[in-house]
Structure 1
Amino acid sequence: MTNPEWLKPGMYGALLGAVFVGVVGFSWGGWMTGGSANKLASEMARDQVIAALVPICHDMSRTDNQRLAKLATIQAATSYKRRDAVMDAGWATMPGSDSPNRDLAKACIEGLNLDAS
């Protein structure tokens, strides 16, 4: 089958246009693949769950009988060990869970008033 001579530049233009639209769409247009969208959604969901659990962590710290001693231990710990200190205090272990949550412990530290304890 022979194609008309005028069809060849049109085919090249359509092919280059499709490539250009794809590059621009994924680079600046905000397009993403399904895998990237799922990863983004999972991260957002995890962050929202942690944010919802932070008040429980703070309430557990306020009602703890040994609050002052545990806060002193957390405050005395170096900045990168404070998360472990909150986990050891038991404030990052949610009711019904057997182990503490590292992300929750990190978020809980930010709300604890360590300077005014």
Structure 2
Amino acid sequence: MIPIANPRDIFMHIPAMVMSATFGLIGGVVLAGIIGFNWLGWVTNDTVERTARLRAEAAVISALSPICVQKFREEAGVDERLIKLKRDSAWQQTNFISRGGWATLPGRSKPDLDVARACAAALVGAKT
């Protein structure tokens, strides 16, 4: 055993091959992480959960918006309301659908704004 007076001198007594292999290993791990996350599609658990939540919300909205469209079309005066809806801006359309109660789903007391937005888009985009 070689006596070491200063703890910083420990690196001076490690063989060069071990130091090269250690730095190569560290560099390889860093490089693999950079390549994996940037180009190979690796993702963290948080990213997977966020993506799954967004997809589930989008699926629910796309499943519920036809109910809103149907409720809108079943009431009297649909042609006048549709003309007014098409004249409004996107924000006003969402607000119009929400206030009309068509985006208020069974069992809920308040309208769902995402469903109202999708409903307005479907109504405005639909050919009459």
| TM bracket (short chain) | 0.7 to 0.9
Q: Give the structure 1 partner of residue 44 of structure 2.
A: 33
Q: Give the structure 1 partner of residue 95 of structure 2.
A: 84
Cα distance in structure 1, aligned partners of 2:83 and 2:101: 15
Q: Which of the pair is proportionally richer in helix?
A: 2
Work out whether 1:53 is the aligned partner of 2:67.
no
Instruction: State the TM-score, normalizing by the size of structure 2.
Output: 0.79
Work out whether 1:102 is the aligned partner of 2:100.
no
Which of the two has higher C-alpha Rg? 2
Consecutive unaligned residues in structure 1, runs of 5 or more: none
Deviation at 1:113, TM superposition (A): 4.3
Work out whether 1:12 is the aligned partner of 2:15.
no
Percent identity among equivalent residues?
Answer: 30
Deviation at 1:67, TM superposition (A): 2.3
Q: Over the residues paired in the alignment, what is the CA RMSD in angstroms? A: 2.1
Work out whether 1:44 is the aligned partner of 2:59.
no
Consecutive unaligned residues in structure 2, runs of 5 or more: 2-12
Question: Residues 70 and 12 of structure 1: is their aligned pair in 2 closer, same or farther, counting only changes over 3 Å?
Answer: same
Contact 2:86–2:124 at 8 Å: present in 1 too? Answer: no
Question: 1:33-88 CA distances to partner (integer Å, 9 max, x unpaired)?
Answer: 11111111111110010001111111111211242343243234233211100111
How many pairs were matched up? 117
2:58 aligns to what SS in structure 1? helix
Cα distance in structure 1, aligned partners of 2:79 and 2:125: 10
Q: Give the structure 2 partner of residue 74 of structure 1.
A: 85
Deviation at 1:114, TM superposition (A): 6.7
Contact 2:82–2:124 at 8 Å: present in 1 too? Answer: no
Question: Residues 49 and 20 of structure 1: is their aligned pair in 2 closer, same or farther, counting only changes over 3 Å?
Answer: same
